[in-house]
Structure 1
Amino acid sequence: MSSFNDSQSMLELADTLGVSVSDQLSELTSLEFQEMKVIDFLPEMMIMIRSLISKEGFTYQRKPITVIEKGLLISFQNMFKERKEATAETSQPLPEERPHVRITPSRMASEVNFPKRSHIRQITILVEMRYLQQFLGRDQSKFSPLFEAENTFWIEEFMSPEIAVLVNEIVTAAPEGTLLDAYYRLKSLNLLYHLFKNLAYRQARPYCSMSTAEMEAIYRVRNAMSTSLDQALTIAELVKLSGMNELKLRKLFKQVFGKGLYDYFQHLRMQEAARLLKEERLSVSEAGYRLGFTNLSHFGRLFEACMGMKPKKWNTQNQQG
């Protein structure tokens, strides 16, 4: 197991992964690391824990990972709580994405956007494909599109409560605990178990390889939806924004996010409703009206379908002390 605590760790990590960053060193110096840890189980798996602040906005061109021939890169984004005390510079909340899980082939190059003064917290697992297939056993056929070499895909999944708990258990592990390597391996495999259990609920359908332009278009649509939670954008507006025809937009959106446009939008609204109830301590009716609902019974039914219980009960159980 290796552990690092300064920006030099990014260069060491890139070298370990076989990814050159020499042409973007100046941009990477704008990253302020709050925490950085690498748990190396290669050639089977590597776990990377990072919490950082981007002092300046820039786009990082991530090159293909070459340390393993074929694998998946699975990032659990913004799911864990900070372990360190806040400093004067970081005491104010900074913008960050909603918690989610993102899966891409390790061989795929990608653009990573760092908005100015944004906070990124992530656990990333690099897992070798044959090791993952062996782990999934007889159920690996359910996920065959992920293992096909010709597929270039990008999958995003909502956070589940089980995954959130495991992520925080990994981050808060004692640095010198007994059997620490075994602990990290066990927790990471447990994360993969819950992730693939959730993915198994997705409707089986052929996967389409996606170009960078198509991925960017899908995320333009998703981002537009997430910033207009009180009023749904029309299909015509989303189609125009994507630059695709409606059929292709619906197909690729569901491939990436596992839900159709309408269901995904409602799920985003319910996640925001839960945040408003817990963090801003709004009443159920205030949260519903804030998100554009005029029929609170409809709001309650959607919330229960998404969160597993009625909003009033959820609010009672999840209020912070």
Structure 2
Amino acid sequence: MVKPEPLMTVEFEFQVIKNFHFLTAFAKHFDTIVEGEKVYLPQWLGDGYIQHISLDGMVMFIHNYKLNHDLVLRRQAIASTESITLKFDHSKFLSKYNQQRHDPFFDKSTGFEVEVGTCNFNTELKIPAYKQINFLIIGTSRTYLTGLLNSESRATILNLVKTHPSFVVYDFIFPEMANVIKQIIRINSATELPKLLYKAKAQELIYHLFENLFKRPVIAPVNVKQDDAEKIHIVRLALLKNLNSCPMLPELAILSGLGLTKLQKLFMQIFGQSIHQYYQSMRMIQAASLLSNLSVSETAYKLGFTNLSHFARVFERHHQLKPKQFKSRLIIESKLLT
């Protein structure tokens, strides 16, 4: 492949069909080589690697690198509804335990922290340059995943995994999952019984994810087509675009081209919250981030609250701390780190 000019976007398109090997195809496309279980990025593209680990019933890919150019990975859909992927993007980890010193939801990011879905969707993953990237993907089958879960629960996600030919759901990476991801990335050739540890940690990660997904409200699941998923993404971006003013439901229905009832059902299934609940959750995550640089009143006003008491109540409901207490803790932690 010809080396692109500075600040160009580099693309790699693939389809996971029989006998396809991602590392080999990636290495051939970018004129680099596979060493053991890893393909190292050519120097012009960036610094780091993609690792492939074959496990019983699963395959895991670890992306650990920093790019010199934006990279777009495009996966073409396959006809089979048996394959399922679970993507954990630690690069986007946002929580009260890891505050970001910028406005994470006021940029053009379209990614999610955790994505679970069937492979009969076209997907496009945009990976930015000049940022440390840490995410992993677990590929498995519907049969294997159902066997792991092995539950009689009425959880909506279990119904989706067991019976629905097409679905996608999103969730956040919580601290328990973040810790497991860190442990997986630290495994190397010096680790005792690495394959056994990889498998144990992959299953632990799946456990923490589905433990949380099982808590979502039980609803009658609907089939999600690619077009539906894209429309719901448009709605999510509209919510994140301006967190100081929530669009009205009729406006979002017109924007997405979906009926109001279908919009609300799909959004609840994919995100596990109503549109208003999701909007408030995003505001409070943003508030926790802004408090690292702004005062409580500045944070509240930036997010559209005109009543500080109301802001404090909503914030405490989400973070189990009043905003002033949260900010004090941030200051103490910052001093300790310094």
Q: Structure 2 CA distance, aligned partners of 1:156 and 1:300?
A: 28
1:104 match:
117
Residue identity in the other structure for 1:248: K
Change (3 A) 1:96 1:37: farther
Aligned residue number for residue 220 of structure 2: 206
Question: RCO greater where, 1 or 2, for CA within 8 Å and sep 6 or more?
Answer: 2
Which of 140, 147, 152 pairs up with 2:161? 147
Which whole-Å CA distance do the structure 2 matches of 1:51 and 1:305 have between them? 35
Query: Which 10-residue stretch deviates more, 142-151 or 236-245?
Result: 142-151
2:319 equivalent to 1:307: yes
Structure 1 residue 247 corresponds to structure 2 residue 261: yes
1:40-99 deviation digits (Å, cap 9, x = unpaired)? 104x11121114548357572433397xx8242111124478xxxxxxxxxxx9975565
TM (norm. structure 2) is 0.74
Q: Partners of 1:49 and 1:17 in 2: how far apart?
A: 20
State the alpha-carbon separation in 1 of the partners of residues 254 and 226 from structure 2.
Answer: 18
1:138 alignment partner AA: S
Measure the CA separation in 1 of the matches of 2:83 and 2:183. 25
- Equivalences for 1:1-321 in 2 at 5 Å? 18=20, 32=46, 34-42=48-56, 44-51=57-64, 53=67, 55-56=69-70, 60-64=74-78, 70-79=82-91, 96=109, 100-105=113-118, 107-114=119-126, 117=129, 121-139=134-152, 142=155, 143-278=157-292, 281-318=293-330, 319-320=333-334, 321=337
Contact 1:18 1:65 in 2 (8 A): no
Q: Is the 8 A contact 2:112 2:170 kept in 1?
A: no
Give ranges in structure 2 of 5+ residues lacking alignment.
1-11, 31-40, 94-103
Q: C-alpha separation between the residues in 1 aligned to 2:326 and 2:234?
A: 32
Report the Cα distance in structure 2 between the residues aligned to 1:132 and 1:76, rounded to whole angstroms. 16
Counterpart code for 1:288: A
Gaps of 5+ in 1: 1-9, 82-92
**Aligned residue identity for 1:18:** F
Conserved? CA contact 1:254–1:261, under 8 Å: yes
TM-score by length of 1: 0.77
Tell me whether 204-213 or 263-272 shows the greater mean CA deviation: 204-213
Letter in 2 for 1:298: H
Do the aligned residues in 2 keep the contact of 1:101 with 1:156 (CA within 8 Å)?
A: yes
C-alpha distance in structure 1 between counterparts of 2:78 and 2:232, whole Å: 22
Q: Is the 8 A contact 1:60 1:111 kept in 2?
A: yes
Partners of 1:251 and 1:127 in 2: CA distance: 27
**Aligned pair in 2 of structure 1 residues 12, 183: CA closer, same or farther (>3 Å)?**
farther
Tell me how far 1:33 sits from its aligned partner. 5.9
Between the two proteins, what is the percent identity of the paired residues?
27
Deviates more, 1:296-305 or 1:238-247: 296-305
How many residues end up aligned between the 2 structures? 293
CA change 1:166–1:297 in 2 (3 A) is farther
Shift of the 130–113 alpha-carbon distance from structure 1 to 2, 3 Å rule, reads closer
Q: Residue in 2 aligned with 1:6?
A: none
Find the residue that maps to 1:138 and give its secondary structure.
coil
Structure 1 letter corresponding to 2:212: N
